[in-house]
Structure 1
Amino acid sequence: MYRNAEDSDLFLDKNKPSYMGGMLEMCNNRLYPFWTDLEEGLKTGLPQNESKTGEKTLFEAIYTNEDKIREFVNAMAGVSMGNFMVFAKQFDFSNYKTLCDIGGSGGHLSAQVVLNNKHMQCISFDLPPVSPVAQENVAKMALDDKIRIESGDFFTDDFPKADIITMGMILHDWGTTHKKMLIKKAYEALPKGGAFVVIENIIDDNRSENAFGLLMSLNMLIETTEGYDFTLADFDEWAKEAGFVSTSLMALTGPSSAAIAIK
């Protein structure tokens, strides 16, 4: 008789919401070949993905191909699900009623929030090609009455108004100018007392302990033109420049954290 070990059964069974294999699939299908050019990336500071050969950029390549959309959504869900579960259970939602997840992908963060906080209503906001995947996920979980899927571009469109604005693995894709712009848009969408929550592999301020966060930042070099992971001190500076009054850090799973700014 053969059976999965307990960890394998939890994380490598495609029929379970805790499935993490999507990230392994994307690493195998996309990322592994790009890392062979790490030396060139370090010397030039340029991405080493599809854009290197004149093909579409990372997000252009993903969002124009339905199979790649699903692969990317599943990868992000797998690597982030544990963080979403912890955040949904540990964050104090008692003073809030609505949440908008910017770059909400498959709607998984919103799902965990409403499953663990029955009074909450959520919006999952992402580009139009992602909406069918998110809507399908929400319908499977029978959460249509609690989660609204809304399409838009977070660079060109205003953020939907909500008591809490979240971004999971979004800010690290972009350079400082775009990071600040997205933080300012979150500030403008929130009421006084509202919370802006960024779930990332936040690097420790002296940049010596969170090796995974540093490696993820290196992966942003491979995959993006200006993206990088950041410290809480970085986030605090950007958030207060936008108008937020305070910031804090909530530990999640492994090397990941939620950086929280209050308006």
Structure 2
Amino acid sequence: MDNQTPPSPDKIMQIGSGFWPAKILLTAVEFELFTHLAREGKMPAKAIRALLSLKCTDRHLYDFLDALHVLGFLQRDGFWDAAQYSNSPDAEAFLDKQKPTYMGGILEMFNNRLYGFWHKLGEGLKTGLAQNEVAGGEDPLFVTLYKDPERLQGFVSAMTGIQIGNFMALAEKFDFSPYKTFLDAGGSAGVLSIMVAKHNPDMTCTTLDMQQVEDIAVKTIDKFGAANKVKAVSGDFFSEPLPKADVIAMGNILHDWNEENKLLLLRKAYDALPEGGAFIAIEAVIDNDRKQNLFGLMMSLNMLIETADGFDYTFADFDKWAKQTGFKKTALLPLTGPSSAAIAYK
């Protein structure tokens, strides 16, 4: 007897309408709804309407809030006019702008930039060209960012947001005990260095990024009270050697570039490490069979949108590049969700 499950349109509709729940969440982040609820506690729908200055009907107000409840971002006590809404534990932890664990920066970037650019994925696949600001005649992304402090701050917040859970996990899971110095190359706001210093008090940590980012990192380090253990320095890791350190990390850096530049960055890390030192790439490393890590595959397509020739990679790819560079061995450390730390030891 054939027990094969009959065809169903359910998954087709779920994926095809996937932009609906995404836009509901992104809109709530745009409204800072979760930040307001973290401050106010439970609130009825009409109080939320007044707080956010919404002009929609009662019906659509409840549709919006109840959809967030069904999606797992809001808790609801009561029903309809008697309902009281509050943050779910995940939203409370990661979507309140006043908390250091806020990851909404990446969601803000999804909403403000990538939501529109992904409309042109087909064009990117047809042409092989980036489909971000460059397609509209603007300068490349990083040139544009370094000219505009407000946009740069938004980008830095986004990069922190997408990696904050992984930074926390790496600081706790990786064995830093054999090492004394840590460098985060392309460290943005410096949060990874802060997390490593917090969980490993014997480590001296440095976050390195372009000069335009250094002020943001210094302010973040001061905010966390970590100035005695973490320093921010500026530099260009393509045109200059990396500072020496026992452990060198790059979070969401390698995937920005083509294979030639990935190998160049690995060589720079190798040259800056002592014998026995470790290089760590924190990314959505794709499973070797390319069957499971959908987020990693989608992130790689996002690199097409953003950079044209950047791409995400499997651990087998990383292992090949590391061995080609001269590293002795590699390991893969799962972090949060679809992300891992690909580690190469010198």
Query: TM class, shorter-chain normalised?
Result: over 0.9
Per the alignment, residue 16 of structure 1 pairs with 99
Give the residue type in structure 2 aligned to 1:8: A
**Structure ranking higher on relative contact order (CA contacts 8 Å, 6+ apart):** 1
**How well do the aligned residues superpose, as a CA RMSD in angstroms?**
0.8
Map of 1:235-246 to 2, 5 A cutoff?
235-246=318-329
- Among candidates 138, 157, 166, match of residue 83 of structure 1: 166
User: Structure 2 CA distance, aligned partners of 1:179 and 1:6?
Assistant: 38
Q: Does 1:100 align with 2:183?
A: yes
TM norm structure 1: 0.98
Per the alignment, residue 112 of structure 2 pairs with 29
Per the alignment, residue 211 of structure 1 pairs with 294
TM norm structure 2: 0.75
Map of 1:1-263 to 2, 5 A cutoff?
1-2=42-43, 3-263=86-346
Query: Could you say what secondary structure the match of 1:109 adopts?
Result: helix
C-alpha distance after superposition, 1:62-81 (max 9, x if no partner): 12110111101111111101
Query: Could you say what secondary structure the match of 2:87 adopts?
Result: coil
User: Structure 2 CA distance, aligned partners of 1:7 and 1:165?
Assistant: 30
- Aligned-pair CA distance for 1:224: 0.3
C-alpha distance after superposition, 1:26-69 (max 9, x if no partner): 11111111111111101111110011122111111112110111
User: Structure 2 CA distance, aligned partners of 1:98 and 1:253?
Assistant: 24
Give the residue type in structure 1 aligned to 2:230: I
User: Structure 2 CA distance, aligned partners of 1:142 and 1:8?
Assistant: 25
Moved over 6 A (4+): none
Which of the pair has more CA radius of gyration?
A: 2
- Bigger drift between 130-139 and 59-68 goes to 59-68
Query: Could you say what secondary structure the match of 2:206 adopts?
Result: strand
User: Structure 1 CA distance, aligned partners of 2:89 and 2:280?
Assistant: 32
Query: Could you say what secondary structure the match of 1:101 adopts?
Result: strand
Query: Could you say what secondary structure the match of 1:198 adopts?
Result: strand
Give the residue type in structure 2 aligned to 1:132: D
- The structure with the largest helix share of the pair is 2
- Aligned-pair CA distance for 1:20: 1.3
Give the residue type in structure 1 aligned to 2:117: F
C-alpha distance after superposition, 1:96-119 (max 9, x if no partner): 000000000000000000000000
C-alpha distance after superposition, 1:1-26 (max 9, x if no partner): 42322221111100111111111111
Q: Extract unaligned runs of 5+ from structure 1.
A: none
User: Structure 2 CA distance, aligned partners of 1:255 and 1:132?
Assistant: 31
User: Structure 2 CA distance, aligned partners of 1:89 and 1:211?
Assistant: 26
User: Structure 2 CA distance, aligned partners of 1:219 and 1:197?
Assistant: 22
User: Structure 1 CA distance, aligned partners of 2:241 and 2:137?
Assistant: 31
User: Structure 1 CA distance, aligned partners of 2:88 and 2:272?
Assistant: 45
- Aligned-pair CA distance for 1:208: 1.1
Equivalent residues, number: 263
Give the residue type in structure 1 aligned to 2:177: S
Query: Could you say what secondary structure the match of 1:260 adopts?
Result: strand
User: Structure 2 CA distance, aligned partners of 1:204 and 1:221?
Assistant: 19
